[in-house]
Chain A
Amino acid sequence: MESNRPWFGRLIAALCSVPLLALAQSREPITIPIITPLSGAGAVLGQDIQKGVALGVEHINAAGGIKSMGGRPLRIEVVDTQGKPEIARVEMERLAVRNNAPMVLGGEISAGTGAAAQFAETYGLPFVNSAAANSDLLHRGYKWYFTEQITNEDEAATWLALLKHLAEKAGGPPPTVAFLYEDSPRGSVSAKLAKKLVESAGFKVVADVSYNRAERNLLTHVAKVQQAKPEVVMWAGYTEDVAAGLKAMQQLNFTPYILGAGGGPGDPRMPELVGAAFIDKVHLSTVDYFAADSERAKRFVVPYTKQYGQVPSSYASIGYRAAFLAKAVLEKSGKLDRAAIRSALQGLNIPGSELISPFKSVQFAPDGHNLGAQNAVTQWQDGRKSTVWPPEIAVKPPAPLRGR
C-alpha cells in the first residue's frame, strides 16, 4: 500500500531522526576488550583484574566518560583466555577481525601475552599490556605492542639495588644468595637476569633451583636450597607455589631473608595462607608494581576495600590501571581508529601524580616499553605490607639483613 503521508512530514521525521541518532551514538559506550585468565590455573589473576576493571570503569564513567568523544561511557569487555596462549590467540582473532576492536588491553600472563602480541602485530592492532613482565617481547621489534608494566629487567635492577643496600647496612662479608623460581617465562627470565646482575656485582650465588608451578610438594626443592645455606633467597613465583614453598620452609626450619618477585610473595592473602608470624620472620619482600599503602593508591584502595571487603592485590591494581590507561589513550586519540590510537600511545605522557602505581609516568619508548615504570619493594612487617624501597616512596625502612 502506498503511503499517503505528505512529503514534508517525511522530511521533518528525517530531520528529527538525525540529531536523535547522533545523540544515541554519543551515549553508546565505547567498548575496549581486555584479555585475562578468568578461569583455569591463572584465574586468581583474572578474577582480581576483573574487580579492578569494574571499579576503574565505574570511576571513569562517574567522572563523565571519554570527554574527547562527547562524554561517551567506557565499557571494558573482560575476555577469558583460561591462561592458555592458544586461547589468547583465538580470542585476539575474534576481537580483531569480527569485533573490529580499536585496541586490546592485556591482563594476561607472559606466555599468553606473547601469543597475543604476535597476533596484534600481524593485524596492526594496538595491544597494551599492563600485566606481563617478560621483557623478551620488547626485543622483537614489534610496532603495535606497548607495555605499561615493569619488566623483568626493571625487577632485576631493583632486586640488586635493595640487596646492595641491605649488604651495606649489615656490614661484614657480602651475603650469599640462592635463586628459587617457578619455571615459566615469568619466573625463569626474572631469575636469569637477576642472577647475572647479582654475580657481576660480586655476590656469590650458592643455589639455583627451579620448579614447576603445578608441583604439589616443594619440600625437596626447598631442602635443596637450604642445603646451600644462603643468607638471601631471591624467589619469583605465583601465589600457590609460594604458599607451598613457605610452608616447606617452615617445616624445614629454614628462615632466609626473602626477596621476592611475581604475584605470589606480595599476595595480600599470604598471611592467611601461611601464617603472619612466619612471613614476618623471613622478611618476605616483593618487587612490586603496586604499593597499597602509598598516598596515590588511596583513590583506588579505599573504595576497593569498601566494595570487596579486602585490600586490593597487585593483580587488582592492574585492572584499575588498564581502565585508566584506556581512557587516557582514547582522550588523546579522539577517535576509534587503530592508527590514531597507536599515535596516541606513542605520544602519551601521564604524570606519576595521576597514577595509582609507583611509576614516575606512563610514557612509551619506541620499542614500546614504559620509560616511567618504576618498582616499589613492599615487605611484610607486623602482618602488614609496607613499602620499603626505593627510599623516595618508602614508608618504612627495610628490615635489617643481620641481627634479626
Chain B
Amino acid sequence: MITGALLVQALISGLLMGGIYALVALALALSFGVLRVLNFAHGDLLMMAMYGAVVLHRWLGLHPYWAIVVLALPMLALGWLMFVGLIRPVQHAGVLVQAQMTLGVSFVLQSAALMIFGADLLNVRTEMEMAVLRIEGVVVSVPLAIGFAVSLLISGALSWVLLGTDAGRRVRATAQDPDMARLCGVDVERTQRWVFALSVALLAGVAGCLMTFSHVVPTAGLQYSVLALLVVMLGGLGDLKGAFIGGLLIGIAEALAGVFLNSAVGPAVIYVLFGLTLLFRPQGLFGRGMEA
C-alpha cells in the first residue's frame, strides 16, 4: 500500500538526488551551450574524478569534500588539455565526427580505469555516509542533502558569474553568436577553452558529493553520460536553467516510479518522460538558447 509517508519519502529522496543529477547536467549544458559539441565522455570524466576521490582518501585520508578542492585544479587542467588536443580539432567538423571523438575518449577512459583499478566496486567509508535527519518519519540522507546544497551553491555561483561579470558576458556572447562576439572583440577560442575546462572542473564537485554515499566502477561513467544527456535534452540543449530543473524532474520521476511501479518498468519512466517532452516540445522544456 502506498502511504503518504512513503510518497513524501520518495519526493524528498528524488529531489535531493535530482540536485546531484542537475549538477552533472549543468556542466554538460554549459560546455554544449558555448562549444556546440556534445561531450559523450562527460560521465567518464566524472568517473575519473570519483576514482580521484577514492585515491585521495586511501592515500591521504582526505574526506571526499576536501577532495573537491584538491581535484578541481587537475580536472581543470585535464579539461584544458582535452579541449586543446581533442575537441578543438573537431569543433567545426560534423556532429558525427565530434561524437566519434568523444565516444572514443569515453572508451579509453573506461579501459584505463579497468586496467588501473580493476572491476571491483570502490567506495569511501566516512562517518557521515549513513547520517540521516528524521523529520516526521521521513528520512533525509545527510550526504544527499549536502550534495543538493553544493549543487545549489555551484549553480548560484555559475549564474552570478554568467550574469554579473564581464567574463560571463563574454561567455554568453560566445554562446549566442560566436562570429558577432569575435567582431565585438571577444577571444572566442579562449572563452571556449575556459568554459570547457570549467565544465570538467565542475565534475570534481559532483564526484566529491557522490563519493560520500555511492561507489564507483569503470562503467559508472556511461550511466552518468546517458543521464546528463537526457537531462540536458529534457531541459533544452544548452539551457542552464532547463538543465537544473530537468535534473530535479528526473530525480523525482525516478523515485516516484520506484513507489508506484514494480519491476523493469520503473527505470523506463524517465525515458517515457523524455520521449513525451521531445514529442510535444522538441526544443526541450526551456529550450530558448543559452540562458543563465
Contacts and interface: CB of A to CB of B under 8 A. Distances in A.
Do A and B interact with each other, yes or no? Answer: yes
Given A208-B262, A212-B264, A251-B139, A39 B218 contact: yes
A273 B266 contact: no
B258 interface: yes
A223 B9 contact: yes
Contacts of B3: 227
Contact of A39 (B17, B114, B223): B114
B118 A215 contact: no
Contacts of B132: 251
B120 A269 contact: yes
B97 interface: no
Contacts of A252: 139
B121 A219 contact: no
A219 B139 contact: yes
> Which of A212, A220, A227, A275 is most buried by chain B, counting CB atoms within 10 A of its CB?
A220
Interface residues of A, number: 37
B141 interface: yes
B165 to A, nearest CB: 35
- The SS class assigned to the A binding surface is helix
B262 A41 contact: no
A183 B261 CA distance: 12
Nearest to B261: A210
A43 B264 contact: no
B212 to A, nearest CB: 11
A221 B194 CA distance: 42
Contacts of B262: 208-210
A297 interface: no
Interface in B103-141: 110-111, 114, 118-121, 123, 125, 129-130, 132, 139, 141
B267 A223 contact: no
A108 interface: no
Nearest to A252: B139
Given A183-B263, A214-B223, A217-B17, A250 B130 contact: yes
A44 interface: yes
A275 B266 CA distance: 29
Contact of B267 (A39, A215, A244): A215
A217 B14 CA distance: 9
Nearest to B264: A183
Contact of B141 (A183, A215, A251): A251
Contact of A212 (B1, B10, B267): B267
B13 A215 contact: no
Interface string B177-219: 0000000000000000000000000000000000001110111
A216 interface: yes
28 contacts: A39-B114, A39-B218, A39-B219, A40-B219, A41-B217, A41-B219, A43-B114, A43-B119, A44-B217, A47-B119, A209-B262, A210-B262, A211-B258, A215-B266, A216-B223, A217-B254, A220-B13, A221-B258, A223-B6, A223-B9, A224-B6, A227-B6, A239-B121, A243-B215, A247-B130, A269-B121, A272-B125, A275-B130
Interface of A: 38-41, 43-44, 46-47, 183, 188, 208-212, 214-217, 219-221, 223-224, 227, 239-240, 243-244, 247, 250-252, 269, 272-273, 275
Given A214-B267, A217-B254, A244-B214, 5 more contacts: A209-B262, A211-B258, A215-B266, A215-B267, A251-B139
